[in-house]
Amino acid sequence: MFAKHGYEETSTEEIVRSVGVTRGTLYSQFRDKAALFAAVYQEQRAALAQSIGECIQVADGAPRQQAVLAVCRAFIEKAADPQVRRILFADGPAVLDQDVIREPDPALLLLRQAFEPLMAEGVIDPLPLDPLIHLVWATCFEAGTYIASADDSAAAQQEMIGTLERLLTGLWSRSQAV
């Protein structure tokens, strides 16, 4: 319901009616509508990380640089999904406390797994890994936010993918550029 109508337009009455529970049952599990939304938000984040993980498995065997590009491209493509876009990038930042938004994301671990071997193999010149993966994650997250607020989300998605690919290829060591 949050994905279809948005947080503000979804009432607790609609929620309890659609899932067939009483208001008391809802509030025994979640202290308020915001707590329920936070659970939905976390579920969407986990699903997004799972999609990215699947992309890594599909890219297995490809040059590592291409795998990293594929992971970031998959993130942005998934972020363009209206359900993901509304929950994670539109309503999430507006409704939830910034501490919830900034909680360690499962996607950070996936980015670490993608970037660590690139540095070890000299594909990327040595950089502090944690700041790098946080910057890449923040860039992907902001791309999702940008797409969510764009008048033409399909065009915004393509612009973000192209721009992110240019940014990432700038990290490749000159001797390792694809």
State which H helix or E strand residue 168 sits in: helix 153-169
Write the CA distances from 11 to 2, 26, 40, 55, integer angstroms.
Answer: 9, 12, 15, 36
The pLDDT assigned to 32 comes to 93
User: Is 123 part of any domain?
Assistant: yes
Domain that residue 123 falls in: 45-169
Task: Identify the CATH number of the domain in which residue 164 sits.
Answer: 1.10.357.10
The pLDDT assigned to 50 comes to 86
User: Is 19 part of any domain?
Assistant: no
User: Is 162 part of any domain?
Assistant: yes
Structural domain count of the chain: 1
- Which residue type, as a one-letter code, is found at position 173? S
The pLDDT assigned to 176 comes to 56
User: Is 6 part of any domain?
Assistant: no
The H-assigned helical ranges of 31-105 are: 33-58, 64-79, 82-84, 92-95, 98-101
Contact 85, 3 (CB under 8 A): no
User: Is 74 part of any domain?
Assistant: yes
User: Is 72 part of any domain?
Assistant: yes
Q: What is residue 124's three-state secondary structure?
A: strand
* pTM as predicted: 0.76
User: Is 36 part of any domain?
Assistant: no
Task: Encode the chain (178 residues) as per-residue pLDDT tens digits.
Answer: 898 899 999 999 999 999 999 889 989 999 999 999 999 999 998 888 888 778 777 666 667 788 788 888 888 888 778 888 899 888 998 999 888 877 777 778 888 888 888 888 888 888 999 999 989 988 988 888 888 889 998 899 999 999 999 999 898 876 555 5
